[in-house]
Structure 1
Amino acid sequence: MDGVQTYMKRFSIIPAYALLIIGTYIFSSFSVKAESFTPLQKRAIERIIHNYLLDKPELIVQAMEKLREREQAEQNNKTKQLLRKYSNRIYHHPMSPYTGNKKGDVTLVEFFDYQCGYCKQVTESIIKLVKNDKSLRVVWKELPILGQTSLDAATAAMASRKQGKYLDFHIALMNNRGGLNRQSILKIARRVGINTAKLEKDMTDPAIRTYLEETTKLAQQLGIKGTPGFIIGEKIVPGAVSLKQLKKFIETERNRKK
């Protein structure tokens, strides 16, 4: 029982046996295992815990809060490791379109689908950020997860890079409130001054398909399961966020780098 006695000395205000079992099942950090006790001892321990927790129910709340803190810390660490591991593919892939300051001190990455309503909602906020924040860089990651039309739109957008029209086309596709199909995609392209004959030819470039497949795989590796999904600094942020929230994330990342 040396392990129990040591623990009792450390936390004398709490019954040692109660802490031992709570720790084993909640914190998983005790050296003494439940198998070390006889059936009689186990029943005694259960009775001590039962009575103690009835008297001090706040201990359960404290334990659960500690567990949540530990799980969050573990998730944050896992996210940091993933972002470091895939850093080049996230921030510096030569085919990834970007907007804003090429050498900006903060980079915001968005994974999106042109048929995603929430993606459409946040586009205006992102464009405002780029216009008003001269030190911000935004990297666009096409993630066509909503079917063939999404894939067609993403392919067309990537092909428009060869005519220097990506951002105009991107914004126009996001601003479209009607349904998309191949014909409407080409119509929107013509509206922003794209040569659609060349666009359709460029859409057959196998490098675009490969890039989109790689981006989908990257999203899966990062645990991004839907759109929009954002990366900023050491955080992966799922779902639509407000302009105010985006500004806060950017401010936090700048402060972290100081």
Structure 2
Amino acid sequence: MKRLTLLLTALVGGLIGAVAMWALGPASTRGDEALVRRTLMAHPEIITEAMQKLQDRETGRQVAALGRTLTQPVGNAFAGNAKGDVSVVEFFDYNCGYCRASLPIVAALVKADPNVRIVYREMPILAETSRAAARASLAAARQGRWPAFHDALYTGGRVTNETIAAAAKGAGVDLTAANSSENEAEIDNNLRTAAGLGVTGTPSWVIGDRVLTGTLPLEELQRAVTAARAR
């Protein structure tokens, strides 16, 4: 605990010095830095906001570098406006209960905003059946049958090889190509991309230059979309 306190103190001290240099320039005096210190100590939320802006800036660079690799769906694995001006990328796992809980929230977002596009990216991390479901999902997307498969699998109960096969049959998906090297490469790329963005769990969302995690209220997703649209 003592070591952690020292590290945090050093971090805050360094941040205060950096803020002083940024705000006041290299000619800042000790009195100026003391004023900055007092201001930050009185309003510590400034530090949180500054750290968030730095994180958003770095995430923005990563998202820009990924380009369409991140925001272009595989086949028809998307919801909403195909030509929407803001893409909400969701990393999900069919075994994830929080992803399931997010379904009505995402539906409400799409209904409320005609210019948003939800791009679904498989991130199978919870079970062996997660990867099997992801392969089948990609096969459905490439065959233009993703929405029907997606809905059928979620309404089919616990994810098993049997429920995956039943969802595919009901949606008219040919699973013979599910285990293709193309689908394996897509899944592996999603996992690498997620790791690069600091995503470790599902559902996670990339909206503009923000990475958000968890089952989020509709209002929070809408605020992120509005901010991305403004930029």
Q: Does 1:188 align with 2:167?
A: yes
Equivalent residues, number? 207
Query: Which of residues 176, 179, 183 in structure 2 aligns to 1:204?
Result: 179
Identity of aligned residues (%): 29
- What letter is aligned with 1:169? F
Corresponding position of 1:144: 124
Corresponding position of 1:238: 213
Q: Distance in 2 between matches of 1:170 and 1:128?
A: 17
Unmatched 5+ stretches in structure 2: 1-9, 22-33
Q: Is this contact kept in 2: 1:100–1:136, CA < 8 A?
A: yes
In the TM superposition, residue 58 of structure 1 has moved relative to its aligned partner by: 6.7
Partner of 1:77, secondary structure, is helix
Distance 1:148 1:88, change over 3 A: same
Q: Does 1:27 align with 2:7?
A: no
Corresponding position of 1:215: 190
Rg comparison, structure with higher value: 1
Counterparts of 1:1-258 in structure 2 under 5 Å? 25=14, 27-29=16-18, 61-62=41-42, 64-92=44-72, 97-176=77-156, 178-190=157-169, 192-195=170-173, 198-199=174-175, 201-254=176-229, 256-257=230-231
Q: Distance in 2 between matches of 1:227 and 1:180?
A: 16
Q: Is this contact kept in 2: 1:111–1:227, CA < 8 A?
A: yes
Q: Is this contact kept in 1: 2:73–2:121, CA < 8 A?
A: no
Moved more, 103-112 or 88-97: 88-97
Distance 1:213 1:66, change over 3 A: same
Moved more, 108-117 or 98-107: 98-107
Q: Deviations over 1:44-90 (max 9, x none)?
A: xxxxxxxx9xxxx9777337444434322321221211111212211
Q: Is this contact kept in 1: 2:204–2:213, CA < 8 A?
A: yes
Q: Distance in 2 between matches of 1:60 and 1:124?
A: 40
TM-score of the aligned structures, taking structure 1 as reference length: 0.70
TM-score of the aligned structures, taking structure 2 as reference length: 0.77
In the TM superposition, residue 96 of structure 1 has moved relative to its aligned partner by: 7.4
Q: Distance in 2 between matches of 1:218 and 1:112?
A: 13
Higher relative contact order (CA 8 A, sep 6+): 2
- What letter is aligned with 2:124? P
Measured on the aligned residues, the alpha-carbon RMSD in Å equals 2.9
Q: Distance in 1 between matches of 2:48 and 2:171?
A: 52
The runs of at least 4 consecutive aligned structure 1 residues that moved more than 4 Å come to 21-26, 57-60, 63-66, 93-96
Partner of 2:52, secondary structure, is helix
Q: Distance in 2 between matches of 1:221 and 1:22?
A: 24
Distance 1:96 1:87, change over 3 A: farther
